[in-house]
Amino acid sequence: MLVHYRKDYQKIALGLLSLLPELRDEQRFREELNWALTSGNQIYLWKDQEDNHFIAVIILELGTDYVLLRRLSFTPSERSGRNVYALLTAIHEQYPDRRLMGTLDTQPLITSWGKANE
């Protein structure tokens, strides 16, 4: 389930962002979260419906006709295709009139998801 970021989720979001290899440095993942907040990007957490724990964080850039998936980080035990595809489907349902796009890092996931949904 998609949950919109709130200030009281900051530690959870930072912890999930720290799992990305390019953001391992504490200062770097804090900067990433601050950048997302100040630039008006959307930040969501993904909650596992079975055990009600947050298992992912996602940073989206919204355009007039697109949604750009900037960052996606899952807990190591929850990186299955099922979880990733469910999250991408939820984003698509949240913004049905916009095209879901990715960065160089995230586009392969979106392409795979798109092929699975054809």
Domain boundaries, the chain: 2-117
* Type of residue numbered 86: A
Q: How many residues in total does the chain contain? A: 118
Q: What CATH number was assigned to the domain covering residues 2-117?
A: 3.40.630.30
Which residues does residue 59 pair with via DSSP β-bridges, in sequence order? 43, 71
Cα–Cα distance between 104 and 27 in angstroms, integer?
A: 23
Contact (Cβ atoms closer than 8 angstroms) between residue 104 and residue 71: no
* Type of residue numbered 38: T
Per-residue pLDDT at 81: 67
Contact (Cβ atoms closer than 8 angstroms) between residue 73 and residue 56: yes
Per-residue pLDDT at 54: 92
pLDDT by 10s per residue, the chain, length 118: 999 999 999 888 888 888 877 766 677 767 877 777 788 899 899 998 788 889 999 999 999 999 999 989 888 877 666 788 999 999 999 999 999 999 998 999 999 999 988 7
Look at residues 73, 94, 85, 75 and name the one whose alpha carbon lies nearest to residue 112.
85
Give this prediction's pTM: 0.87
Per-residue pLDDT at 51: 82
Per-residue pLDDT at 88: 94
Q: What order of strands is seen across the sheet that includes strand 66-74?
A: 2-4, 42-47, 54-62, 66-74, 99-102
Cα–Cα distance between 59 and 46 in angstroms, integer?
A: 11
